[in-house]
Amino acid sequence: MEYSLVCHSLYALWSSPVKKKLILLSIMFLIWVYMLYSCVGYCSTMPSLVVDSYRGKETVSAVGKRTESGRTDLVSRLLAKPQPWEDIESDYEEPSIRTAASRDLLDNEMDMDRAEDWDEMRGEQQRAPEPSAMSSFSNGSGSKKLPQAIIIGVKKGGTRALLEFLRVHPDIRAVGAEPHFFDRNYDNGLEWYRELMPKTLEGQITMEKTPSYFVTREAPARISAMSRDTKLIVVVRDPVTRAISDYTQTLSKKPDIPSFESLTFKNRTTGLIDTSWSAIQIGIYAKHLDNWLHYFPMEQILFVSGERLISDPAGELGRVQDFLGLKRIITDKHFYFNQTKGFPCLKKAEGSSKPHCLGKTKGRTHPNIDPEVVQRLRDFYRPFNMKFYQMTGHNFGWD
C-alpha cells in the first residue's frame, strides 16, 4: 500500500507539465555548474601568458628583498663570485665590451626568442582540444608548486621537442611558455613564479624550460636558493651545428643581418673567433657547466643528446624518465618519423588523439656556410668539447 502511494505520488509529480519543466531545468543547471567547475580546473592548468615576462626588461638580483628569516644571508653567500674558470689552451678570449653591432644583434635575438615563444604558445592552444571532464575535474583540485625539474638549456639544442615529448607523461605537468624567471624576471618574486605553474596532483612533477638559464651567470645560485634539490636537464648539440641553427633563426626574422662568416670572426685574416657573439659563446658548454657545478652536484644534472633526441627519441626519453624517478611510459609507440620535417613527431600529443609535429619554426633549412669557416669553428670548439666530455663522463661524438 505504501509502495503504491509513493509510486502514485512520483507519477503525479512527473505528469505535471510545470513540475516536469522545473525538474529538467534543475538537472540542466546542475550539469552547467559541473561543466563550469571542470572548465575552471582545465584553464588553471593552461600555461599563463604573463605580459611582463616578455617586455624585455633587464632584471637585477632581488634576493635581498626576501623576508624569510636568515634567507638573505644564505643567498648572499650563494651569490658569491665563483672561482675563475681554468682556461683551455685556445685562441678563446673572454668577451669584454660588446661592440654596438653585437649588442644590437643580441637584442634582436632576445626579441625573436620572445616572439617565437609566443608563436609556439599560440600553436599549442590552437591544437589542444578540451580534455575529458573527469581529467579537468581532477586538475582543478590540484595546487600550484614551484618546479622540481627545469630544462635549463641549451638554445637551439632541442629543448622544445623534449618538453613536448615529456608532456605526454601523465605524471609531468609543464608550463608551455618560457617563464625566464631566473634571468629576466627574478625581481618579481617566487610567488609570481609559482603562479605561472600549472596545477599538479600528489605525485606529479612540475616542470618548466628556459634555455637561456644555462648561460646566465646568476641562474645557478638563484635556482639553488629556491631549492637545492631541483633536478636540471640540459639538451646539448654539436656546438657548430647549434651556432648555425641559432643564426638561421635570427636570419628568418632579420634578413638584413651580416653574414654568418662576418659575425663569426673578429678578424677573418687571423681567424680569431668572436666569442662576444652569443651564437658562438653558448656552445662553450664546459665554461657554462663549470658555473653550475659550484651550486649543484653532477648527479642532479642530466645531459640529453640533441642528436639522439632526433634519431632515438624513445631512448633519450627513457633516460629522462629514469632521471626524474618516473615509470617509463613514453616509449617507441608514441613516435613516428616525419620525413618532410626530418624530425620525430608524436602519434598522440598531450590531451589529443591526433598526431602532432613541432611548429613551422622548427626544422628550418640552414644557409650554406663556407666549409673553411665550419672547419675553423670545429677546431675552435674541439678543446672545449674534450673538456666537456671529461666533465660529464660522456663522449657526444662531435669531433
Catalytic residues: 156
Q: Dihedral angle at the C-alpha atoms of 166, 172, 176, 178, nearest 10 degrees?
A: -90
Cα separation, 332 vs 314, in Å, equals: 5
Q: Confirm or deny that 57 is annotated as ligand binding.
A: no
The DSSP string of 228-259 is TT-EEEEEE--HHHHHHHHHHHHHHH-TTSPP
Own/partner pairs for 5-11, CB < 8 Å, 24+ apart? none
Cα separation, 156 vs 183, in Å, equals: 18
SS3 content of the chain, % helix, strand, coil (to 5): 50, 10, 40
Q: Confirm or deny that 167 is annotated as ligand binding.
A: no
Q: Confirm or deny that 189 is annotated as ligand binding.
A: no
* Residue 217 and residue 71 in contact, taking contact as beta carbons nearer than 8 Å: no
Q: Confirm or deny that 351 is annotated as ligand binding.
A: no
Instruction: Please list, in sequence order, all residues whose beta carbon lies within 8 angstroms of the beta carbon of residue 132, skipping any fewer than 6 positions away.
Output: none
Q: Confirm or deny that 364 is annotated as ligand binding.
A: yes
Q: Confirm or deny that 184 is annotated as ligand binding.
A: no
Q: Confirm or deny that 287 is annotated as ligand binding.
A: no
Q: Confirm or deny that 122 is annotated as ligand binding.
A: no
Question: Between vectors from CA 294 to CA 318 and to CA 306, what angle results, nearest 5°?
Answer: 30
Q: Confirm or deny that 144 is annotated as ligand binding.
A: no
Q: Confirm or deny that 153 is annotated as ligand binding.
A: no
List, as residue ranges, the binding site for 3'-phosphoadenylyl sulfate. 156-160, 237, 245, 362-366
List, as residue ranges, the binding site. 156-160, 237, 245, 362-366
